[in-house]
A and B are shown apart, each in its own frame.
Chain A
Amino acid sequence: MPPMLPDFSNSVKLKYVKLGYHYLVDHIITLMLVPVMVGIVVEIVRLGPDELLNLWNSVHFDLIQVLCSSFSVIFIATVYFMSKPRCIYLVDYACYKPPVTCRVPFATFMEHSRLILSNNPKSVEFQMRILERSGLGEETCLPPAIHYIPPKPTMEAARGEAEVVIFSAMDSLFEKTGLKPKDIDILIVNCSLFSPTPSLSAMVINKYKLRSNIKSFNLSGMGCSAGLISIDLARDLLQVHPNSNAVVVSTEIITPNYYQGKERAMLLPNCLFRMGGAAILLSNRNSERWRAKYRLVHVVRTHKGADDKAYRCVFEEEDKEGKVGINLSKDLMAIAGEALKSNITTIGPLVLPASEQLLFLLTLIGRKIFNPKWKPYIPDFKMAFEHFCIHAGGRAVIDELQKNLQLSAEHVEASRMTLHKFGNTSSSSLWYEMNYIESKGRMKKGDRIWQIAFGSGFKCNSAVWKCNRTIKTPTGGPWDDCIDRYPVHIPEVVKL
Chain B
Amino acid sequence: MELFTLLLTIPILYVFFLLWKWVNDLRDQQCYILDYQCYKPSDDRMVGTKFCGEVIKRNKNLGLNEYKFLLKAIVSSGIGEQTYAPRIMFDGREECPKLEDGISEMDEFLHDSIGKVLSRAGISPQEIDVLVVNVSMLAAVPSLSSRIVNHYKMRPDIKSFDLTGMGCSASLISLDIIRNVFKSYKNKFALLVTSESLSMNWYTGNDRSMILANCLFRSGGCAILLTNNKALKHQAMFKLKCLVRTHHGAKDESYSVCTQKEDDQGRMGFHLSKNLPKAATRCFVDNLKVITPKILPVRELLRFMAVSVVKKWKQRCGSVPKGAPEGPIKAGVKFKSGVDHFCIHTGGKAVIDGMGVSLELSEYDLEPARMTLHRYGNTSASSLWYVLAYMEAKKRLKKGHKVLMISFGSGFKCNSCVWEVVRDLDDGNVWKDEIERYPPKTLLNPYMEKYGWIQDEDLSTFKVPDEI
Contact = CB atoms under 8 A, between A and B. Distances in A.
A326 B262 contact: no
A423 to B, nearest CB: 18
Contacts of A80: 18
A459 B149 CA distance: 11
B52 interface: no
B259 A198 contact: yes
A177 interface: no
Interface string A452-485: 0000111100000000000000000000000000
Given A198-B165, A303-B158, 6 more contacts: A65-B4, A197-B258, A199-B167, A199-B411, A221-B164, A236-B180
Contacts of B309: none
A197 B196 CA distance: 13
Interface stretch (B137-145, B215-223, B344-352, B358-366): B137-145
A305 to B, nearest CB: 3
Interface string B198-242: 000000000000000000000000000000000000000000000
Interface in A180-221: 192-203, 205-206, 208-221
A349 B260 CA distance: 47
B329 interface: no
B154 A213 contact: no
A17 interface: no
SS class, residues of chain B in contact with chain A: mixed
Interface string A284-313: 000000000000000001111110100100
B8 A195 contact: no
B160 A303 contact: yes
B247 interface: yes
Interface in A55-93: 60, 62, 65, 68-69, 72-73, 75-76, 79-80, 82-83, 85
| 5 pairs of A and B residues whose beta carbons are closest in the complex | A221-B143, A199-B165, A205-B249, A305-B149, A457-B146
A303 B157 contact: yes
A404 interface: no
Contacts of B145: 221-222, 457
A324 interface: yes
B183 to A, nearest CB: 5
15 contacts: A79-B22, A154-B262, A155-B268, A197-B167, A198-B259, A205-B247, A206-B249, A217-B163, A301-B157, A303-B157, A305-B146, A305-B147, A315-B142, A346-B157, A456-B146
User: Counting chain A CB atoms within 10 Å of each CB, which of B11, B139, B161 scores highest?
Assistant: B139
B184 interface: yes
A207 to B, nearest CB: 9
B294 to A, nearest CB: 13
Given A202-B247, A205-B250, A303-B154, A240 B139 contact: no
Given A72-B12, A318-B98, A318-B99, A222 B162 contact: yes
Nearest to B271: A197
Contacts of B468: none
A65 B3 CA distance: 12
Contacts of A233: 161, 177
A390 interface: no
Given A155-B262, A198-B258, A212-B286, A79 B18 contact: yes
Contacts of A195: 136-137, 139, 164-165
Interface string B243-264: 0011111101001001111100
B15 to A, nearest CB: 6
A311 B142 contact: yes
A68 B9 CA distance: 11
A260 interface: no
B453 interface: no
Given A72-B8, A155-B260, A302 B250 contact: no
A232 interface: yes
Given A83-B22, A156-B262, A456-B143, A202 B150 contact: no
Contact of B184 (A212, A239, A305, A459): A239
Nearest to B260: A197
A10 to B, nearest CB: 43
B155 interface: yes
A76 to B, nearest CB: 6
B1 interface: yes
Nearest to B160: A303
A217 B177 contact: yes
Nearest to B287: A212
B266 interface: yes
Interface of B: 1, 4-5, 8, 11-12, 14-15, 18-19, 21-22, 98-100, 136-137, 139-147, 149-150, 153-167, 173, 176-177, 180-181, 183-184, 245-250, 252, 255, 258-262, 266, 268, 270, 286, 290, 410-413
A6 interface: no
Contact of A76 (B14, B166, B184): B14
Contacts of B166: 199, 201-202, 218
A171 interface: no
A203 B412 CA distance: 11
Contacts of B266: 154
Nearest to A218: B165
Contacts of A215: 176, 245
Contacts of A79: 15, 18-19, 22
A151 B12 CA distance: 72
B250 A209 contact: yes
A69 B246 contact: no
A389 to B, nearest CB: 22
B261 A156 contact: yes
B255 A206 contact: yes
Contacts of B255: 198, 202, 205-206
A199 B164 contact: yes
A392 interface: no
B156 A240 contact: no
A220 B136 CA distance: 10
Contacts of A304: 156
Given A193-B141, A305-B142, A240 B164 contact: no
A198 B167 contact: yes
A199 B8 CA distance: 58
A240 B184 contact: yes
A222 B140 CA distance: 9
Nearest to B167: A197
Given A192-B139, A211-B250, A302 B18 contact: no
A276 B268 CA distance: 26
Interface in A316-344: 316-318, 322, 324, 326, 342
Contacts of B286: 212
A154 B153 CA distance: 37
A271 interface: no
User: Counting chain B CB atoms within 10 Å of each CB, which of A221, A232, A306, A316 scores highest?
Assistant: A221
A143 interface: no
Given A223-B142, A457-B142, A457-B149, A210 B249 contact: yes
A316 B149 contact: no
User: Counting chain B CB atoms within 10 Å of each CB, which of A60, A202, A326, A458 scores highest?
Assistant: A202
Contacts of B143: 220-223, 456-457
Contact of B164 (A203, A218, A303, A318): A218
A199 to B, nearest CB: 3
Contact of B159 (A155, A218, A221, A301): A301
Nearest to A197: B260
Given A197-B270, A221-B143, A212 B177 contact: no
A240 B154 contact: no
Contacts of B158: 301, 303
Given A199-B411, A213-B247, A308-B150, A65 B163 contact: no
A254 interface: no
Given A202-B255, A222-B162, A311-B150, A193 B139 contact: yes
